[in-house]
Structure 1
């Protein structure tokens, strides 16, 4: 038996085992909010009728980057003080360009999405993702399903260890939600948990909001429409995939001088304003090489399209209920992709998949009202203790 095992190792190598994934490296109390303070901080994301006090912590933990290398990452945890056993909700943030524009570092008044859940009796877990906050990685693997899911699942593991050490009791239910990139990350984490961690966590329900779940469809619509508003996000996505899949440092994809600017900004971009100012303001026709743009619209750009298809999240069957929330007039993340995701899940036999469409404006104005609906959706399963 030993001889056979030795031969297997010789010919196939030793599979990577990341024993430290999800290890809690450190935790620190950032702020205590009294019940009135918690209710006030939560208000931008929704009213809490009977708020409880909230302790806000920062966690650092071990996870994987876009190439499977072990790195550290950080996030925030909002703990309802003095509550009975509570459900856990993981809240995934949307696209940010600045390393500090994440839950572990944002001021409390900008963490209303997490505070509103914690003040209502949920343990709110808010990952920063790899490349942000206190992460040892400088690069964020944007819209890369595997590493986003890993950073969320490993944060949940670290939060579980933290809760046990602090005597915070949870009731075994896990809810997942997020907006924009966070909606995409939510669905990626839901798939990861059900397919690879079914004995560790039980997803009670997920509520992805305004995310590009059918990534190939979303990118195709944006590339064909060519609006200036999508330029930073397309540059971020293709730049991230270049780092992960090796497209030759974006040669043949993004024109100079923008190509060198994108490559520089990927290593810790400082702000959305810096990203915007480094890129053209007249749409994709000015950003992309003409041959790449025409190839995308035809049968070319095969490697980039393959990466987009690999990172689409529609080819599986969720077991726990999923409610997609999306605004009809969203021009940045078109609702067509949420419709495609729902149709795909239903075709695969998923029992409870919903799509809630609202006419509340464009991408930037829909977050707060859709979050309130996601919270009501979770409350219908017993929710928190409010």
Structure 2
């Protein structure tokens, strides 16, 4: 994800050119399948204590170069974290045992806290999932140290469900993994006497931004208890409009190497020989998923894009269409982002406003370079500020 775009584009183009010329001549899981699931979606299966960090521990960790939250953020509470397993469903509708993390600020007995559902960014390594990397430097613990109960799903394909394909940028199973984790976490809080104040916030960056919007749309459509609790969502730099994201990325390759524009047109790829389509898929997938990853990704959206199936992409993968949020949505993105195009956020803002939403805003990253990873620390400061304006009992 951090490879410079020009280098990735040139590498892709070189391989595609070779292909065209040739064609012209002729969590801690161990990778095993998860155990059978005994109960329905959202059921809490287990909860185990992981560790506790003091506020001083977290403040010291934030000085580390790996910290994604920095500047103007002061931890106030010690944080205890717990690994939950719960039931959800995968892309094919089959039951899956999933996992996630709940991080709780150590307040006075009986004191209530608002809840953040934090959706993590794209990672290709299981040991980076929230319930597997419970370190003081990680966003769930830093956010909890500010006074929030933080609920962080690992997503299907990570943690307890490692070995199951991760439904990458597929909206329904992504939303379900978040909402089912919220249900399981609520059960866990009741069982363990952890009080929340019935305020819910959603936040996440990159794929986490996408998952945040997918979950938000599902909450609005269900029109249940979670909608009554929801205060705001802060999605950062997500590929909400999957078609726009892919079109913009493909357009950049065409601009760099115009001779290959003909080959890379999805309308032509759809009717190209199968070996050509398969090689293009392999090359495009390799730009997104590194060879050394240990999580299985299912890029259905990419298969559909290569087949020029635009309507199914809009229906099953994009998350900005067909709804109007009833609470503020604070979008955040950098104009220089070469990983997820800025236009994806513009499209989401415009579509939700056109649907009748009045509280959708888009704030630009001001960090020099404005790139995808460059803007991460500023995003977290922005999210903490926007949620903090509405949160009570911090």
Q: Say whether residues 1:253 and 2:277 are aligned partners.
A: yes
Q: CA deviation at 1:176?
A: 0.3
Q: Say whether residues 1:337 and 2:344 are aligned partners.
A: yes
Q: Say whether residues 1:86 and 2:113 are aligned partners.
A: yes
TM-score using structure 1 length: 0.76
CA change 1:114–1:225 in 2 (3 A) is same
Q: Say whether residues 1:314 and 2:320 are aligned partners.
A: yes
Q: Which residue of 1 aligns with 2:16?
A: none
TM-score using structure 2 length: 0.74
Q: CA RMSD in A?
A: 2.8
Structure 2's unaligned 5+ residue stretches are 1-37, 255-273, 295-302
Q: Does the CA contact (< 8 Å) of 1:26 and 1:60 recur in 2? A: yes
CA change 1:226–1:275 in 2 (3 A) is farther
CA distance in 2, matches of 1:333, 1:101: 21
Q: Does the CA contact (< 8 Å) of 1:38 and 1:51 recur in 2? A: no
Q: Match of 1:155, SS?
A: helix
CA distance in 2, matches of 1:68, 1:200: 22
- Cα distance per residue 1:39-67 (max 9 Å; x no partner): 33355313543511100111111001011
- Cα distance per residue 1:169-202 (max 9 Å; x no partner): 0011110010100000000000101111523442
Q: Does the CA contact (< 8 Å) of 2:114 and 2:200 recur in 1? A: yes
CA distance in 2, matches of 1:89, 1:108: 18
Superposed counterparts of 1:291-302, under 5 Å: 301-302=307-308
Q: Match of 2:59, SS?
A: helix
- How many pairs were matched up? 318
Q: Does the CA contact (< 8 Å) of 1:48 and 1:119 recur in 2? A: no
Q: Which residue of 2 aligns with 1:279?
A: none
Q: Does the CA contact (< 8 Å) of 1:42 and 1:115 recur in 2? A: no
Q: Which residue of 2 aligns with 1:244?
A: none
Structure 1's unaligned 5+ residue stretches are 1-17, 228-249, 277-291
Q: Say whether residues 1:274 and 2:279 are aligned partners.
A: no
Match of 2:196 among 170, 176, 189: 170
Q: CA deviation at 1:136?
A: 5.7
Q: Match of 2:350, SS?
A: helix
CA distance in 2, matches of 1:302, 1:108: 43
CA distance in 1, matches of 2:352, 2:385: 23
Q: Does the CA contact (< 8 Å) of 1:72 and 1:136 recur in 2? A: no
Q: Match of 2:279, SS?
A: coil
